[in-house]
Structure 1
Amino acid sequence: MPLLHEPNIADPDGFYESLIEHQRDLDDTQAREFQARLLLILANQVGDRQVLDQALRLARDAGGPRTSSAGLRPAVGPGAQPGR
């Protein structure tokens, strides 16, 4: 299974809201731990090591809220300005 480069989340705005809501009352350490647990849960769901390695490289290369070579941009919060 190749890494998807096109948006594939049904209701991405709703998902983003839910992601933020699940971290709302967490301090920075708890939020990082939550994100790590979520990452491992989703990685297990994907399961394909080649896809996971591609995703790791893409996330590392993206490095910030700018468009990557794959055309994907990390999620940015409300009011954030793309490319900054």
Structure 2
Amino acid sequence: MPALNLTLNLSQHDDLYDQLVRMHEGLSDAESLRLWSRLALILINHIGDRQVTEEAIAAARPL
């Protein structure tokens, strides 16, 4: 079973960050939250591993 990878594993990450920011342009706060939720569910489905997803949730949640 794969483990959650928290080390940098992405090329051109600054460009991707900019794209994530731009995808919210013109959206209300509620629309932006729905967009984040849809994106998260799409990526969770792609990962397809509940344990890895739960590790990511725990890692993302502030202490």
Q: Is TM more than 0.5 here?
A: yes
TM-score relative to the length of structure 1: 0.69
Unaligned runs of 5+ in 2: none
Moved over 4 A (4+): none
Query: Which residue identity does 2:59 align to in structure 1?
Result: L
Highest relative contact order (Cα 8 Å, sep 6+), 1 or 2? 2
**More helix as a share of residues:** 2
Other-structure match for 1:49: 50
Alignment correspondent of 2:26: 25
Structure 1 residue 45: deviation in Å? 0.6
Q: CA RMSD in A?
A: 1.2
Q: CA deviation at 1:41?
A: 0.4
Identical-residue share of aligned pairs (%): 34
TM-score (norm 2): 0.91
The count of residues paired between Structure 1 and Structure 2 equals 62
Structure 1: gaps (5+ residues): 65-84
Question: Which whole-Å CA distance do the structure 2 matches of 1:58 and 1:26 have between them?
Answer: 27
CA distance in structure 2 between the partners assigned to 1:14 and 1:8 by the alignment? 14
